[in-house]
Structure 1
Amino acid sequence: MEMRVDFHTHIIPEDLPDFTQRYQGDRWPVLKRTCACGANIMVAGKVFREVTDQVWSPQKRIQDMEREKVDMQVISPIPVTFSYWAPVEEALAMARIQNDFIAEVVKQYPDRFIGLGTVPLQDVEIAIREMDRCVHELGLKGLEIGTNVNGANLDDPALLPFFEMCEQWNVPLFVHPWETLGRERMPLHNLMYTVGMPSETALAAASLILGGVMAKFPRLKICFAHGGGSFPYILARLDQGWRVWPHLRLLDQPPSYYAKNFYFDSLVYEPVNIQYLIERFGHERIMMGSDYPFLLREIPPGEAVDRTLELTEEQHRAIFGENALRFLNMSPVKVSEK
């Protein structure tokens, strides 16, 4: 029987401190309870997102996993908590609270959860120090990072030492959109989520390639949320740009050559998109992910993969669990062994 691992889920501590009181400023996310099983995440006095106890309760998550036939969740912070904009010591405090919480959840339920941490990327030296703690002390299996750092793309030279240590320590990275480009043009229809996030993710992926990061660190493990956003579908256009503008080239090979090193979650909703990702990058690079527990999530997790009828049993097993465990440097586990 296959192991089903949901690579893309988010969690937040129920007792997250109110940093607007501790450090002042109104950009901090604050968890304000609305009832016994719900809360609002508030930013600048406004509701950023309505959430239920699914977002903080391991027991509630396990109930949902049982119902939706998920064996394990990879839990990572909610991107609004990245706080790259804040003074680094304050952002570090926010990161450590979450990293400690995630590590504790994994410790309590090691057969149900795998943890990813977060680091304050506005200061690479401190980010590396917290990455060291996450991986080598807390036992977290990787990090979630944002698609930009205060408007600087991921190929910013200041970030190179961070990626160098990720490669050296073999720390997998889950890149999730946040602070999306063009959000001032997307106040209506929640376009920031449906158009802005996919575009932001494409910019991050393209920057890592065209800026030479992937060429410099070819063993770097990176997975992009939401199936890579619009990146897989503009890759041919990036290749064409590389061909027609040779004076701009920093790379010996076209972008598609380096994109083969990327991984993607399966949150693309339609079997035709799953099939395209497989044809473009190989089934070994796709990991089932649902975006649990938010509104845009796929229910049940992996539903589009299940509807992709052309998949072989080997591909199915790989996408649903084996790829995620391998990406996270963990040994595949049979359900019967749990």
Structure 2
Amino acid sequence: MSDPQQHPGRFDVHHHALPRPYQKALDSSGAPQLKGVDPIHWDVDSDREVMRDNDIRGALLSVTAPGTTIVPGPEAIRLARDTNEEFARLVADNDGAYGAFALLPLPDATAAIAEIDHAVDELGLDGVGLFSNSAGVYLGDEQLEPVLAHLAEREITAFVHPAIPASTDQATFGLPPSLYEFTFDTTRAVANLLYSGTLDRHPGLKLVLSHAGGTVPFLAQRLTYAATIASRLKDREPADLLGSLRRLYYDTAMSANRATLAALTELVGPEHILFGSDYPYMPASTTRETVEGVVEFFSPADRELLERRNFEVLFPRFCARAKTFAAR
């Protein structure tokens, strides 16, 4: 099914895969692909078909939660390396259709920095994947400050995917935590980044938040009231909280509906939004729903930004690679 308004194709910043080393580690550990969620199958042929059907010119592959925390210590470092090497192979074998976000062995900051450099410099990956929390360590934690500082210094874009917080076992109501806790955990991570001073220290940090930023657009103004509620937080207030939120990027995965996009576009303009599908954890029908929601809500000029131009700015190496393949 093609887009009713013909164009050169969109780029997908939120597109998952199950590389063989990661799937093997999941199988060995007994961990679910994603807690409470039906397991999915991923293969290149099916994936490329969905991309063609939805005019997705290129997709950045990433691993969803829980990441390397499914294995202990040194095994996590090896799992990240093996997964990233498999990502590099998928990129090389698919004619410019794919890029990838590197999997990092978080919360081990030293190992994560080493893997960032290897994945970007040696394997040619396009950025890194972060989780809202890794084994309960959130992105604004001082333990991860070296990682965020390194990404900012090197101007490497990071894709922030939510993870399940440790507390959800107490009240899940028989529902999969990803149904609603994912949006809350993205918000926890952002609040932590704001009130730890991380975003003030690194104003050039390029972060893409999944699922329209979770509940961040809806709660943006409320997040400014910390010192009003508790005066002891005055010294921790961000210099410009709303300005910091507007510097971040947000994707459309599971969010291409009028209510969510209205809140998001009140916070940021289309130059800080990217198309994201969440395929294959959300099926092909939802990818189509996302395309239709974006087409319905945004003007053609705004769609040009969020479907292509913003992606080209953040991921120039991917786009150069795709053009090279297209020219062959």
Please report the TM-score for the alignment, with normalisation by the length of structure 2: 0.87
Query: What's the % identity of the aligned pairs?
Result: 22
Residue 4 (structure 1) aligned to one of 3, 6, 10? 10
Residue 282 (structure 1) aligned to one of 269, 273, 280? 269
Deviations 1:193-223, CA, capped at 9 Å, x for gaps:
2221111110001111111000001110001
Alpha-carbon deviation of 1:288? 0.6
Alpha-carbon distance change, 50 to 276 in structure 1, aligned in 2, over 3 angstroms: closer
Residues 1-338 of structure 1 correspond to what in structure 2 (within 5 A)?
1-14=7-20, 16=22, 18-19=24-25, 29-30=26-27, 42-43=30-31, 49-53=37-41, 55=42, 57-83=43-69, 86-180=71-165, 182-249=167-234, 250-251=236-237, 253-267=239-253, 268-295=255-282, 298-300=286-288, 301-308=290-297, 311-330=298-317, 338=326
- 8 Å contact from structure 1 (residues 227, 264) kept in 2: yes
Alpha-carbon distance change, 52 to 191 in structure 1, aligned in 2, over 3 angstroms: closer
Q: Distance in 2 between matches of 1:62 and 1:284?
A: 27
Alpha-carbon deviation of 1:271? 2.4
Q: Secondary structure at the match of 2:156?
A: coil
Q: Secondary structure at the match of 1:82?
A: helix
Q: Secondary structure at the match of 1:71?
A: strand
Q: Distance in 2 between matches of 1:270 and 1:17?
A: 32
Q: Which residue of 1 aligns with 2:4?
A: none
Q: Secondary structure at the match of 1:111?
A: coil
Alpha-carbon deviation of 1:63? 1.4
Alpha-carbon deviation of 1:52? 4.6
- 8 Å contact from structure 2 (residues 250, 274) kept in 1: yes
Q: Distance in 1 between matches of 2:55 and 2:198?
A: 38
Q: Distance in 1 between matches of 2:173 and 2:228?
A: 37
- 8 Å contact from structure 2 (residues 164, 178) kept in 1: no
- 8 Å contact from structure 1 (residues 120, 127) kept in 2: yes
Alpha-carbon deviation of 1:243? 4.2
Alpha-carbon deviation of 1:180? 2.2
Alpha-carbon deviation of 1:236? 0.9
Alpha-carbon deviation of 1:330? 4.2
Runs of 5+ in structure 2 lacking a partner? 1-6
Bigger CA drift: 118-127 or 131-140? 118-127
Q: Distance in 1 between matches of 2:31 and 2:151?
A: 31
Superposition RMSD on alpha carbons, in Å?
2.7
Q: Distance in 1 between matches of 2:73 and 2:35?
A: 25
- 8 Å contact from structure 1 (residues 201, 229) kept in 2: yes
Q: Distance in 2 between matches of 1:181 and 1:220?
A: 27
- 8 Å contact from structure 1 (residues 92, 120) kept in 2: yes
Q: Distance in 2 between matches of 1:80 and 1:73?
A: 21
Alpha-carbon distance change, 234 to 108 in structure 1, aligned in 2, over 3 angstroms: same
Q: How many pairs align? A: 315
Runs of 5+ in structure 1 lacking a partner? 20-28, 32-40
Q: Secondary structure at the match of 1:115?
A: strand
Alpha-carbon deviation of 1:165? 0.7
Q: Distance in 1 between matches of 2:38 and 2:32?
A: 15
Alpha-carbon deviation of 1:98? 1.1
Alpha-carbon distance change, 272 to 256 in structure 1, aligned in 2, over 3 angstroms: same
Q: Secondary structure at the match of 1:91?
A: helix
Q: Distance in 2 between matches of 1:237 and 1:276?
A: 13
Bigger CA drift: 134-143 or 7-16? 7-16
Alpha-carbon deviation of 1:43? 1.8
- 8 Å contact from structure 2 (residues 199, 205) kept in 1: yes
More strand by share: 1
